[in-house]
Structure 1
Amino acid sequence: MARTSETRGRVVEVALRLFREEGFQATTMRRIADEAGVSLGNAYYYFAGKDELVNELYMVIQRDHRERALQVLVHGGSLSENLAAVLHSGLDVMAPYHAFGGSFLQLALPTRSSSSPFSQESSDARSMAIDLMRTTLETSKQKVPASLNDVLPQLLWMIYMGVTLHWVTDSSDSQQRTRTLVDGLVPVVAKAVRLARLPVARGLVTDVAGLLKRMTSPEGLER
């Protein structure tokens, strides 16, 4: 079992390196197998194709993102500052994969794609990302009504997805436009969270979260 896990990990490590260095389209399963020192059949034993390796990329990015984000979160800091730190750390983690952006869009945008951030196959990475947003809220001094504890982390994750989409299409040097977007966006989000404590806004947030839940559930994706 240990050798099986080691071989699978080597295939993932090589695939992600080739995605970074040569791009997704130029990387073949045969090249991955050769670089990993396994047979092509063995590579296909672990992954049916490159698309499945995209979900491994999600997990690697989310683990690295969480590790970096926890180092920059300030307990008792403002939500605006903490959210900015978390979003910027996410951009730092994704930076080596920017050339992969076009291929990512082709794979991830179809709602039935297993590589979609909303797919069942991406649920572990999605849960990890949402949990990081929950930690961001809990670490910040901004108080959130208990009734919104499950709602707001999901909505912050959706904002993170929007930032990621902008980053994928950002051709500015070092994706500086996306950095500017983050810096301008987080104060607005922090104000919206404060307003969410009001009963009238709380209902709206709950409605949006309900829609999000339907979008990310297997039943909703089948419609």
Structure 2
Amino acid sequence: MSTPTAKSEATRELLVSTALRLFRDVGYEKTTMRAIASAANVSTGSAYYYFASKDDLVHELYRSLQEEHRARVLPLLREGQNLGELLRLVLNSGIDVMAPYHDFGSNFISIAIKPSATTSPFGSESAVARARAITLFRQAVTLSRPQPPLAIRDDLPELLWYAYMAVTLFWVYDSSPDQVRTRRLIHQAAPLISKLVILSRLPVVRKIVEDIVQLIRGTRG
């Protein structure tokens, strides 16, 4: 017999999956909480009990994807691997987790880029989710050998997360079968990023990387 917690979790998952289907089929703006509740065969009051708004449903998707990403990739990360190998694992696992939602990707981008959007991964409302995502890259940096230069080590996980966002954007618009072009990009870009990190020990490259770090810090407000 299902426990109340199990039933609640099932209802939350049903509302999220129903919302995603409606977002994809009729568009985010035209989808209402009442419509989501009706399509999920749940009362409107119950829908609002679990989620205060459509934006909350999108944030719940973030959360569930991140939890799945962490559960999938953390057992694969081993100390002693080079950063390129670890980065490839994190990026590919992220794409694996997002794969079922590829059809929704372009819709989400159109929502998230709006200046007023609370669903943006760069916004203050996503700070907790963003921090958890960056933690994965921090783990990869910590386990990597050789270690990145100390001067950029603390900021590197966030820089790698920005790279992940760029890969995600590429994936959203990748129409190749099973997004094979995105896989090829990850395969080639991960070791390149690792080499650039190691080369940042050199004065000329270090200055460029430090400038990028300062730029990122300046956007934190």
TM-score by length of 1: 0.84
Query: For the structure 1 residues 210 and 52, does the alpha-carbon distance in structure 2 shift closer, same or farther, using more than 3 Å as the test?
Result: farther
Q: Does 1:124 align with 2:125?
A: no
Query: For the structure 1 residues 213 and 6, does the alpha-carbon distance in structure 2 shift closer, same or farther, using more than 3 Å as the test?
Result: farther
2:175 corresponding residue in structure 1:
171
2:67 corresponding residue in structure 1:
63
Q: Counterpart of 1:154 in 2: which secondary structure?
A: helix
Q: Is the 8 A contact 1:87 1:160 kept in 2?
A: yes
Q: Which runs of 5+ in 2 are unaligned?
A: none
Cα-to-partner distance string for 1:116-148 (whole Å, 9 max, x where unaligned): 110011111110111100101111213123332
Q: Does 1:16 align with 2:16?
A: yes
Q: Is the 8 A contact 1:111 1:118 kept in 2?
A: no
2:160 corresponding residue in structure 1:
156
After TM superposition, what 4+ stretches of structure 1 lie above 6 angstroms from structure 2?
2-6
One-letter identity of the residue aligned with 1:41: G
How many positions carry a matched residue from both structures? 215
TM-score by length of 2: 0.85
Q: Is the 8 A contact 1:154 1:209 kept in 2?
A: no
Q: Is the 8 A contact 1:20 1:99 kept in 2?
A: no
| Counterpart-to-counterpart distance in 2, 1:20 and 1:48 | 16
Q: Counterpart of 2:103 in 1: which secondary structure?
A: helix
Query: For the structure 1 residues 207 and 6, does the alpha-carbon distance in structure 2 shift closer, same or farther, using more than 3 Å as the test?
Result: farther
| Counterpart-to-counterpart distance in 1, 2:152 and 2:78 | 22
| Counterpart-to-counterpart distance in 2, 1:15 and 1:213 | 37
One-letter identity of the residue aligned with 1:208: I
Measured after TM superposition, the shift of residue 113 of structure 1 is 1.3
Query: For the structure 1 residues 213 and 36, does the alpha-carbon distance in structure 2 shift closer, same or farther, using more than 3 Å as the test?
Result: farther
Q: Is the 8 A contact 2:19 2:36 kept in 1?
A: no
Q: Counterpart of 1:24 in 2: which secondary structure?
A: helix
Measured after TM superposition, the shift of residue 44 of structure 1 is 2.8
Query: For the structure 1 residues 54 and 20, does the alpha-carbon distance in structure 2 shift closer, same or farther, using more than 3 Å as the test?
Result: closer
| Counterpart-to-counterpart distance in 1, 2:109 and 2:21 | 18
Query: For the structure 1 residues 131 and 177, does the alpha-carbon distance in structure 2 shift closer, same or farther, using more than 3 Å as the test?
Result: same
| Counterpart-to-counterpart distance in 2, 1:112 and 1:148 | 32
Q: Is the 8 A contact 2:18 2:39 kept in 1?
A: no
One-letter identity of the residue aligned with 2:195: K
Q: Is the 8 A contact 2:12 2:50 kept in 1?
A: no
Q: Is the 8 A contact 1:69 1:85 kept in 2?
A: yes
| Counterpart-to-counterpart distance in 1, 2:160 and 2:101 | 22
Q: Is the 8 A contact 1:11 1:32 kept in 2?
A: no
| Counterpart-to-counterpart distance in 2, 1:97 and 1:29 | 20
Query: For the structure 1 residues 132 and 99, does the alpha-carbon distance in structure 2 shift closer, same or farther, using more than 3 Å as the test?
Result: same
